[in-house]
Structure 1
Amino acid sequence: MSNLPLPNKQFNALQQAAYQLASCTDQIFQQIEQQQTLTSIIDKIRSSLDLDTILNTTATEIRQLLNADRVGVFRFTPGSGWDEGEFVAEDVAAEYPSALAAKVYDHCFGSQFADRYIQGRVQAVADIYDAQLSDCHIKILEQFQIRANLIVPVLKGEDLWGLLCIHQCSNPRRWQLSEIEFIKKIAAYFAVALQQAEHLEQIKYQATLLAQTQAQEKALMRQKALVKITNRIRQSLDWEAICQTATEEVHQLLEADRVTIYRFNPDWSGEFIFESVSLGWQPLVAFIPNVADTHLMETKGGRYARNETFAVSDIYQAGHSDCHIALLEEFQAKAYAIAPIFQDDRLWGLLAAFQNSAPRNWQADEIELLAQIGEQLGIALQQAKEQKRAIERQQSLVKIVSKIRHSLDLADICQTATDEVRQLLEVDRVTIYRFNPDWSGNFLFESLAGGWKPL
């Protein structure tokens, strides 16, 4: 083969072909990188529901790919007529200021440029000082040290939501057609992300409304149950019927596995006297005749004597002692909520809701319902006590009247009266005092409790 040099014409043609091949190779590699970045962004949009994450990671990838000084996502303030807004995502080189902290006001944009961007306008400025921009526009760009920029609209449906901005701060830059087309594709996928975010917000809003509606319905049901129990207390003096109604209503409303009424004994042990329990769980009434909770016995009711409620979502995570856990396991309970029941100023018992199937996070309104029902049961207790006293008074009165009618012995009548009245009123002494003509007098009869000196 000959080693003679090529003629100049052939050499130049070969050199030009090499340059073209290198240029085509660069373009191919650039297109591959752009496609890889575009694929990555599309994957993020599909896999992420966090719009902020999508915008920020995309800005980072674009800046790295285009070797720009700043990439920012600008959002117009809703209702501003496109005259103001702020950067909501950004990736910027360390030597240049962040644009995130600044509000941007451009009172010319809305009237002069917004419609053009809605129609798809793209602005590619190689040098802001050689693009016939207005002085106010240049002043805004100088605020962020911008020398060249590429601006592509970001649409949300048919509305101009914002702008995707590529900034070159170090020097002018002539934007390539492939770069412009690449950024336009990114902006189009941003529109998809915005629609996706809006759809997610709608779902969240609807879920919130549904939750609020359900909460309102539950609150209404609880209020109705409270009214029902209150009316039962007002209309009935049947203590057992009131308690059974209360446990059944609370059981149904709270969807608990068990609701009980627990009564303290004089030594602060106690027993379950009423309950409403779901199928599949062992009843506590009669099956556990006496409960000896050492803590309640030692503290005479503990926190409940101070009129406090208490709720535990998981008995194994509440710091209970082993003996306390063993007692709760005997009740088949995994979670519980308790409210006190008072008779006058004394702790009488407890209204308790148990979840046996699993732990449960008790809501504040559920605990409040227990407290309200507990208060109503206390009222019912007081009414039952007053009813019992009224019956006893009536019986005593009948007994005294009967004694008067069937006896001619005044002393016997008076003694019977004092005895009956003392027992009825639960006092230490009842007397009959007779006046003399001078209004002095003396005690004729008395009924006296043990330990007191007769008059």
Structure 2
Amino acid sequence: MAKQQKALYRVISKIRASLDLETIFRTATKETCKLLGVERIAVYRFSEDWGGEFIGDCEFAEVGWDDLETLGKNTIWNDTHLQENQGGRYRNNENLVVADVYAAGLSQCHLEILEQFHIRAYATAPIFIGQKLWGVLAAYQHSQSHEWQDLEVQFLSQVATQLGFAVKQAELLGQTEQKAADLRAANEQQQILLNSIAEIRESLDLDTLFQTTVREVRRIMNADRVGIFKFDEGSDCQSGEFVAEDILPEFNPAIAVKVRDPCFAERYAAHYQQGRIQVISDVFKAGFKVCHLEILEQFQIKAKIVVHLIKGNRLWGLLCINQCGHPRHWKLAEVQFVKQLAAQFSVALNHAELLAQSRSQAEQLTQAIQALQQSNEKLEALTNLDALTQVGNRRFFDEVLEKEWLRLRRMQNHLSLILFDIDNFKSYNDRYGHPSGDECLIQVARASQRVLQRPADVLARYGGEEFAVILPETDGEGAIRVAKQIQDAIKQLEIPNAGLWEDRPFVTVSLGIVSEIPAEEKSVGGLIDRADAALYEAKAKGRDTWVCDGGDRREPRWITSDSSDKDRHRD
């Protein structure tokens, strides 16, 4: 049992060492195949219709069976029973074990598929991502039947569970990386946009531009009214209103008066869109329809010049120069002036729109940068945190320990390390179930984290039910104090463990402690090995205790929880 658990921890550590799905699956299949001693391991993924396929390049077969037709390479294998039952027994987290396909009472069509790949015996375990059935981890024997042992099936199931955790973590990382890439692309696009409008005048304000234009044009043209008319959005040029006007006081104002003129949309809009200018010396001799003429009379218009205002590629509005007291013969120079003015005004309209867009884009760019920073922070946290317990993961532990080792070697100060794990956790899992086991790990992590008071102290999940505490600038006595506090804090949780320990009804931990001043001739690996050996000694002494490696001699001298204070201070 201990050998199998150690093998499982090794497989899990290798799986957790990568966040790339392809690498995770290749590692899992290869290591599981070797450890179980079977002839092939493969990963099968369900599709939306509960059919599925074997994931390409994510299987491992022993020599002699790797030349058979490959299960991977995205081989489709739709099981009608699984499709009809939407995953069948796997949805209930049940394994399937067949010692001999010819003695299992399988249907002929199923047997033919198995024979295609020379499968004689198989064991399968479901892979869950959260509550969702994702796929199956399968072990196959080709050469002969195989009586699957409980430990083999249990090992396969445990690897499948870890694959589920790894897939979920890798998918979250992939999503975060994709969001970060999208935000970076948006950042580049926004910067190009900002550069392209850098020459637009920042002071360009449409309201000011409108009022200045109508006032100056009426003055220069000596007209009775000059107005800017804007069509309503979505009206197809049938309705709108004057948004700016300068008029002599004796005539009726047109500002903000709603105008609806279907005749204009029908007869004139298309011409203005094409760039034509309307120059009318006498509206009563121009042949207007009655509907249009009534609108002109409403505003006392006797003569007019009307020029299109284009925004983008659509007719935005009109620049109107009106003579209200009498008809007027417009000079060619006046018409050319209005035409040129309208062209510049259209440019200003587009500049103003670009300016508004640039401000909006600038806000979006700021938001994108903030979102990118948040995504990067989440990504960094994701790569450093254990998904279940939310403390540091093995990757984070390795980085911090190496960094502190080098720092304290320069400072010639103590570095202490505590390794501890939950006693009889395998039995706890078997008795209470994996969900309760996960909750136990979470509570142990939280309680241990509360013990650590200094920002420099680090708690990490070392693997499985094993945790590690890095204590910079802490000698052996200080490390022992922290270990005792962790041991007491976990006991105070009073997590039930009835029937698994005599006279110990609650979950306990065993701890291995080591402390030394880093030196050139020593290594981080040696520090870990000594802490691991101390933990092993604590287990050997009956668990629910701590052991400290009390010296740097080749043969370690243990300081244990039952040692006297005198022993503790002895060289």
- When Rg is computed on C-alpha atoms for both structures, the one with the higher figure is 1
Normalization by structure 2: what TM-score?
0.33
